[in-house]
């Protein structure tokens, strides 16, 4: 209210002043309002929307890329820090074992089903028998009997020697690396990966009925390579 009154007084005073000076007292025409066509308004809205979308998309993409890079770096560092051992040592894999056998064992050994049993540098004066679902991880062991099992979970032998046979029928995965086997190796009806590398076999290697073709190289076999293991 005050601002309107002041404006009215100012306008009246201006008119009186002009009249006293003989000037034109007619008020000037107001400027026409500035208007945008519907097309112009739509174009402006589209440009603003595109700018906002581009900004949002770029920000999200950059954030996702950064997160992926961080995760990749973390995974790489973690894998690098793990000591997976060698043919004589379990390394950090020992932490995954439910039981680890070492030293001299003057008896047969049974690997219970549903568990991971490890052997590190032990001498076993007898057979090693794996129950259904059992998993065996061995490094540098001397087994003076046979290694055998039916419907096992997994077997991984590296280093050391087996004075008898290695006989596995049914189950998951089979891996032999840098092992000396004085008898035969027989692997049948497994569904997982089968790998035999850098292994010396005095007898035969016989593989049949396995879901995946066995793979291997640098094996010295005095006997025959038969069935699916003809190329290992």
Is residue 196's pLDDT more than 80? Answer: yes
Write the CA distances from 152 to 47, 82, 116, 172, 217, integer angstroms.
Answer: 66, 26, 11, 6, 24
pLDDT category at 229 given cuts 50, 70, 90 is very high
Task: Report residue 21 as tokens.
Answer: 């000076």
Are the C-beta atoms of residues 221 and 201 closer than 8 Å to each other? yes
- C-alpha 166/C-alpha 148 separation (Å) is 6
- Residue 50 DSSP symbol: H
Quote the pTM value.
0.65
Say what percent of the chain tops pLDDT 70: 63
- C-alpha 10/C-alpha 6 separation (Å) is 6
- C-alpha 152/C-alpha 199 separation (Å) is 21
Are the C-beta atoms of residues 175 and 195 closer than 8 Å to each other? yes
Is residue 205's pLDDT more than 60? Answer: yes
Task: State mean pLDDT over 50-66.
Answer: 53
Burial per residue of 43-53, b for 16 or more beta-carbon CB atoms within 10 angstroms, e otherwise:
eeeeeeeeeee
Is residue 157's pLDDT more than 50? Answer: yes
pLDDT category at 95 given cuts 50, 70, 90 is confident
Q: pLDDT at position 145, please? A: 98
The whole-chain average pLDDT of the chain stands at 79
Which among 43, 160, 22 is positioned nearest to 101, based on CA atoms?
Answer: 160
> What is the domain partition of the chain in residue ranges?
91-227
- HEC letters along 142-211: EECCCEEEEEEEEEEEECCEECCCEEEEEEEEEEEECCEECCCEEEEEECCCEEEECCEECCCEEEECCC
Beta strand pairing status for 123-124 and 116-120?
A: unpaired
pLDDT category at 61 given cuts 50, 70, 90 is very low
Are the C-beta atoms of residues 109 and 124 closer than 8 Å to each other? yes
pLDDT category at 97 given cuts 50, 70, 90 is very high
Task: State mean pLDDT over 31-44.
Answer: 56
What's the pLDDT tens digit per position in 103-155? 999 999 999 999 999 999 999 999 999 999 999 999 999 999 999 999 999 99
Q: pLDDT at position 89, please? A: 84
What's the pLDDT tens digit per position in 3-27? 443 334 344 444 444 344 444 445 4
Q: pLDDT at position 49, please? A: 62
Strand partners, 104: 123
């Amino acid at each position: 209210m005050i601002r309107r009154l002041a404006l009215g007084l100012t306008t009246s005073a201006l008119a009186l002043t002009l009249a006293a000076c003989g000037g034109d007292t007619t008020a000037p025409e107001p400027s026409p309002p500035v208007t945008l066509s519907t097309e112009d308004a739509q174009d402006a809205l589209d440009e603003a929307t595109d700018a906002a979308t581009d900004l949002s998309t770029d920000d999200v993409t950059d954030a996702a890329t950064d997160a992926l890079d961080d995760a990749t770096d973390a995974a790489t560092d973690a894998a690098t820090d793990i000591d997976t051992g060698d043919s004589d040592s379990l390394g950090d894999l020992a932490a995954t074992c439910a039981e680890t056998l070492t030293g001299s064992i003057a008896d047969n050994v049974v690997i219970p089903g549903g568990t991971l049993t490890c052997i590190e540098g032990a001498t076993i004066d007898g057979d090693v028998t794996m129950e259904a679902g059992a998993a065996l991880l061995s490094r540098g062991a001397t087994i003076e009997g046979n290694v055998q099992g039916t419907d096992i979970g997994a077997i991984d032998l590296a280093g050391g020697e087996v004075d008898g046979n290695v006989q596995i029928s049914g189950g998951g995965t089979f891996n032999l690396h840098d092992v000396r086997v004085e008898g035969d190796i027989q692997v049948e009806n497994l569904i997982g990966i089968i790998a035999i590398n850098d292994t010396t076999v005095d007898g035969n290697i016989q593989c049949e009925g396995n879901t995946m073709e066995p793979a291997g190289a640098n094996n010295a076999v005095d006997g025959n390579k038969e069935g699916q293991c003809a190329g290992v």
